[in-house]
Amino acid sequence: MTDSNPEFNGECAFAVSVGKTGVPGSPNHRLVANGRTYQFKNGVARFLFKTLPNRPGKAASVWATR
């Protein structure tokens, strides 16, 4: 997905990865990885998403079951 179409409809990817949907992400706090754009509520969420293991996979699993 591109910047104009971020993952999880622009919701905070870290929040999604811990089971919380509906938390808006910000284009000011984004990460492009493996051709996908993730947005985050703030820099701390972005850092945790990058640092903790398997965050993209966990977020995708939560998103698929919402």
pLDDT digits (tens, 9 = 90+) for 2-49: 456 999 999 999 999 999 999 999 999 999 999 999 999 999 999 999
Single out the residue of 45, 54, 53, 50 nearest to residue 20, CA to CA: 45
Record the tokens describing residue 41, joined without a space. Answer: 């509520």
Per-position DSSP letters for 5-19, written without gaps between them: S-GGGGBBHHHHHTT
Helix (H) or strand (E) holding 58: helix 55-65
Q: According to the model, what pLDDT value does residue 51 have?
A: 97
pTM for the whole thing? 0.92
